[in-house]
Amino acid sequence: MPDPRLTAPLRRPLFRRLAASYAINELGDWMGIIALSVLVYDHTESALATAALFLGTRFLPALFAPLLVAQSEKPPPRYALPVIYCGEAAAFACLALFVDEFSLAPVIALAAIDGALALAGRSLTRAVVATQLEPSGELRAGNALLNVAFTGGAAVGPALAGLVVAGFGVQSALLLDAVSFYVVAVILFTAGSMPQAEPEPGRMRERVRAGLSYIRERVALRRVLVAQGLAFVFFAAVLPVEVVYVKETLGSNDTGYGLMLASWGVGMVLGSLFFARLRQAPLGLLLLFSTLAVGVGYLGLAIAPTLAAACAASVVGGAGNGVQWVAAISAVQELTAESMQARVMSVLESIGAAMPGVGFAIGGVIATVLDPRMTFLVAGCGVIAIVAVMAPLLRGNWLENGEMGEVPSLDGPDDVVVELLPGTKYRG
C-alpha cells in the first residue's frame, strides 16, 4: 500500500499537472537529445562535432538562464511557464527544417536557445513546487514524486526516441518533440493560478546580484553547489561519445543506442523509487552513495564486452543518478529561502549545464585521441574521486546548520558583485 505521506502532494490538482508536465517534458527532451545526436553524427561522423552540440546546448544556456529566470519570475508563473514551453516547441520545429539542409552552426544555435528556455522552465517549476509544498512539510515527498515522473519519462523516452528515429527518421522525432512541448504548455496554462513567491522589487541585474550574494554568504548551500559542480564534470564526460560507443565500439545501431539509454532510465526509475521510500534518510548519505553508484556504472561501461553488459551497467549508474540529482535538489531547496527559490534553482540548473561543458570537451578529446571506453574509465574514476571530495563537505549536521537567513537588500551601500565559479541536467 502506498505511503500516505508520500502520496499527499498528489491530492493537489496543481501538483498533479506539474508532475504530468515533468514526465511529458522528459519524453520530449530525450526525443530531442537522441534525434540531434544522430543528426549531427550522421552528417559529420565526428565525436568532436557531437561534443560541440552538447557544449552548445549546455554551456551557453547556463550563461543566460539566471538572467532569464530573474526576469521571468516577476510575471505569474501560469503565464510565464507556458510561454517558455511554447518557445521550446518553436525551437524544435525550426530544428526539424535543418534535417534536409544540414548546417552545424544554426543547429547548435537553436539548440542553445532551447537549452536556456529549458533551464528557466525547470527552475520556475521547482520554485512553484517549493512555494506550494514547503509550508505543509510536503516538499521532499513532492520532489520524490516529481523525480518518479521525471525518471519514468527518462525510462520510456530513449527507447521511444530510438524507435521513432529508426522507423520514421530524425525529422519526425524533432517534430514530435515540438508537439510534446506544446502539450506541456497547454497543461500548465489550463492549471489555473499558481503560488508565487513575490520577488523583491528592483531591476533584473540587481536581483541576479542579490541571488549570488545570498549563495556566497551561506556556507552549507555553497558547499552543495560546488560539490555538485565538480561531480557534473565527470558525470557528463561520456554523454557526447555514447552514440559513438554504441555504434563503433559495441557495433550496434540507433535502436541499440536507445536501448542503452533506456536502461539508464530504468535504473533512474529504480533509484527514484528508492529515494521515495527513504525520505527520512540523511541527504548527505544519499548524495554520497548515489554518486558512488554512478561511478561504478561508468566503470562497468568501460569494460562491457556487449550491448547487454553495457545495459546492465547503465542500470546501476542510472539508479545512482535517480537518487543523486533529486537529493541535491532537495538539499538546495531546504537551504534556500522562499523568495530566493527560483534564482538559486537557476544557479543549480546552470551549474548542471555549465560544468558538463568541461566534461563534454574532455570526453570528446579522449574519445578522439584514444577510444570511447577510455572516456568511461576516466569518468568513472573521476566520479569516485569526487566522492572523497564530497564526504568531508557533507558529514555531520551540515543540512541542519544551513541557515536560510535574511534575503539581502538590493540597494545596500556595501553590495559586492561576485563572480560565481561555473558549475544532468546530466540526466535528471
Q: What is the secondary structure of 14-52 as a DSSP string?
A: HHHHHHHHHHHHHHHHHHHHHHHHHHHHHHH--HHHHHH
Q: Which has the higher per-residue pLDDT, 100 or 74?
A: 100
Across the range 349-371, mean pLDDT stands at 80
Using the predicted structure, report yes or no on whether residue 416 has a pLDDT greater than 70: no
**CA nearest neighbour of 50 among 36, 31, 60:** 36
Using the predicted structure, report yes or no on whether residue 297 has a pLDDT greater than 90: yes
CA atoms in the 13 A half-sphere facing the CB of 86: 11
Question: Could you read off the pLDDT of 77-120 as tens digits, one per residue?
Answer: 888 899 999 999 999 999 988 888 888 888 888 888 888 888 78
pLDDT recorded at residue 201: 58
Q: Is residue 322 a contact partner of residue 274, using CB atoms and an 8 Å limit?
A: yes
pLDDT recorded at residue 313: 92
pLDDT recorded at residue 284: 76
Percent of the chain with pLDDT over 90: 9
CB atoms within 10 A of CB 7: 12
Using the predicted structure, report yes or no on whether residue 134 has a pLDDT greater than 50: yes
Using the predicted structure, report yes or no on whether residue 400 has a pLDDT greater than 60: no
Q: Which residue type does 250 have?
A: L
Q: Is residue 289 a contact partner of residue 282, using CB atoms and an 8 Å limit?
A: no
| Cell numbers describing residue 56 | 552548445
Q: Is residue 317 a contact partner of residue 325, using CB atoms and an 8 Å limit?
A: no
pLDDT recorded at residue 250: 84
pLDDT recorded at residue 204: 61
**CA nearest neighbour of 275 among 331, 334, 322:** 322
pLDDT recorded at residue 412: 40
Question: Could you read off the pLDDT of 140-167 as tens digits, one per residue?
Answer: 778 778 777 776 666 677 777 778 888 8
Helices (H), 304-340: 307-334
Angstrom CA distances, 332 to 88, 230, 276, 289, 423, stand at 26, 16, 17, 18, 14
Whose cell is 533529486? That residue is: 326
**CA nearest neighbour of 65 among 137, 124, 145:** 124
Using the predicted structure, report yes or no on whether residue 427 has a pLDDT greater than 50: no
Using the predicted structure, report yes or no on whether residue 230 has a pLDDT greater than 70: yes
With the C-alpha atoms ordered 337, 342, 343, 348, is the resulting torsion angle positive or negative? positive
pTM for this model (two decimals)? 0.68
pLDDT recorded at residue 197: 62
The CA dihedral of 216, 222, 338, 208, to the nearest 10 degrees, is: 40
Across the range 240-268, mean pLDDT stands at 82
Helices (H), 97-138: 104-133
| Cell numbers describing residue 33 | 537529445
Going by C-beta distance under 8 Å and a sequence separation of 6 or more, which residues neighbour residue 203? none
Across the range 275-288, mean pLDDT stands at 75
Q: Which of 15-19, 201-205, 220-224 has the weakest average pLDDT? A: 201-205
pLDDT recorded at residue 89: 92
Domains and CATH numbers, the chain: 4-394 (1.20.1250.20)
Q: Is residue 307 a contact partner of residue 250, using CB atoms and an 8 Å limit?
A: yes
Using the predicted structure, report yes or no on whether residue 363 has a pLDDT greater than 90: no
Q: Is residue 197 a contact partner of residue 131, using CB atoms and an 8 Å limit?
A: yes
Across the range 54-65, mean pLDDT stands at 73
| Contacts made by residues 316-319, CB under 8 angstroms, sequence distance 24+ | 316/267, 317/264, 317/267, 317/293, 318/154, 318/263, 318/264, 318/265, 318/266, 318/267, 318/268, 318/269, 318/270, 318/271, 318/427, 319/267, 319/268, 319/270, 319/271, 319/274, 319/290, 319/293
Residue 180's pLDDT band, with cuts at 50, 70 and 90, is confident
pLDDT recorded at residue 418: 30
Separation between Cα atoms, residue 179 and residue 187, nearest integer Å: 12
Q: Which residue type does 191 have?
A: A
Q: Is residue 46 a contact partner of residue 191, using CB atoms and an 8 Å limit?
A: no
Q: Which of 215-219, 369-373, 410-414 has the weakest average pLDDT? A: 410-414
Q: For residue 24, with 0-12 CB atoms within 10 Å meaning exposed, 13-18 middle and 19 or more buried, which class applies? A: buried
Across the range 351-363, mean pLDDT stands at 78
Question: Could you read off the pLDDT of 307-347 as tens digits, one per residue?
Answer: 889 999 999 998 898 888 888 888 888 787 777 777 787 78
pLDDT recorded at residue 399: 56
CA atoms in the 13 A half-sphere facing the CB of 222: 11
CA atoms in the 13 A half-sphere facing the CB of 224: 30
pLDDT recorded at residue 376: 92
Residue 1's pLDDT band, with cuts at 50, 70 and 90, is very low
Using the predicted structure, report yes or no on whether residue 407 has a pLDDT greater than 50: no
Using the predicted structure, report yes or no on whether residue 127 has a pLDDT greater than 60: yes
Across the range 415-419, mean pLDDT stands at 32
Q: Which of 8-22, 76-90, 187-201, 212-226 has the weakest average pLDDT? A: 187-201
Percent of the chain with pLDDT over 70: 84
